[in-house]
């Protein structure tokens, strides 16, 4: 998540002070991601350094309003118009746990899949119930919440399908009961060699 560009996109709507930016961010993202005020102010200072926002005068309550510059508007527009790149290097804890369990002698990977499936299915049901219970109000904040919740539901559904797929793959894989022993050859110093389909990159 880009806090920098998110704050610029909000400031493009009008000047805000720090706590107000936090409130606006939560309103516009379904309260799914919390920002602490310290993070907001440190980001604003970097944006000011880069010429993307400017600091205004304080009001009678001592609130300092921040304004976006023309350069900041350009960066906000470019961010909103650009796709999000999913980086292959992001670690997925569940995928790593299952991969390790599948290669460790004595680990019951099928039990792990079953336990995870129950947890994922229960979470999915909770999310679906929340959507049904929160379907009365149809304002902009409700729309933002539903977009975030829908994304979470789709991800949970994909996780359950993926667990089914992994279980089927393990059942059919000829090496599923072999496991991997610790190699006796000492690894060379330095960064490990990149292998596999996700290893490509700069």
Which pTM value belongs to this model? 0.69
Render pLDDT for 57-101 as a digit per residue (tens, 0 to 9).
Answer: 888 999 999 999 999 999 999 999 898 877 766 678 899 899 888
Residue 190 lies in a domain: no
Whether 101 and 161 map to the same domain: the answer is: yes
Q: What is the pLDDT of residues 141-155, one digit of tens each?
A: 888 888 888 999 999
Residue 192 is assigned to a structural domain of this protein: no
Residue 64 belongs to domain with CATH number: 1.10.10.10
Helix axis angle, 93-103 to 140-172, nearest 10°: 10
In a domain, 184, yes or no: no
The total number of structural domains in the chain stands at: 2
* pLDDT level of residue 55 (50, 70, 90 thresholds): very high
Instruction: Please state, as a whole number, how many other Cβ atoms lie within 10 Å of the Cβ of residue 34.
Output: 10
User: Residue 136: its pLDDT value, please?
Assistant: 62
Higher pLDDT, 191 or 146: 146
Residue 152 makes CB contacts below 8 A (sequence gap 6+) with 32, 127
Q: Is the pLDDT of residue 202 over 60?
A: no
Q: Does residue 21 belong to any structural domain of this protein?
A: yes
Same domain, 54 and 97: no
| Residue 193 within any structural domain of the chain | no
Q: Quote the percentage of the chain above a pLDDT of 90.
A: 48
For the segment 129-135, the average pLDDT, to the nearest whole number, is: 76
């Amino acid at each position: 998540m880009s806090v920098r560009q998110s704050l610029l996109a909000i400031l493009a709507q009008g000047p805000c002070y720090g706590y107000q930016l936090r409130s606006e961010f939560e309103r516009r993202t379904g309260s799914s991601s919390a920002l602490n005020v310290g993070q907001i102010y440190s980001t604003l200072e970097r944006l000011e350094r880069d010429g993307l926002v400017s600091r205004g005068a304080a009001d009678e309550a001592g609130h300092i309003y921040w304004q976006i510059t023309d350069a900041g508007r350009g960066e906000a527009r470019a961010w909103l118009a650009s796709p999000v790149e999913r980086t292959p290097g992001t670690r997925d804890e569940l995928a790593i746990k299952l991969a390790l369990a599948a290669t460790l002698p004595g680990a019951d990977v099928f039990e792990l899949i079953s336990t995870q499936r129950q947890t994922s299915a229960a979470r999915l049901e909770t999310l679906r119930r929340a959507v049904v219970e929160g379907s009365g109000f149809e304002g902009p904040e409700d729309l933002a919440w539903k977009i975030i919740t829908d994304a979470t539901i789709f991800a949970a559904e994909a996780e359950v399908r993926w667990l089914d797929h992994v279980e089927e793959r393990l059942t059919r894989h000829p090496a599923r009961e072999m496991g991997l022993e610790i190699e006796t050859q000492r690894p060379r110093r330095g960064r490990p060699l990149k292998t596999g389909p996700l290893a490509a990159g700069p």
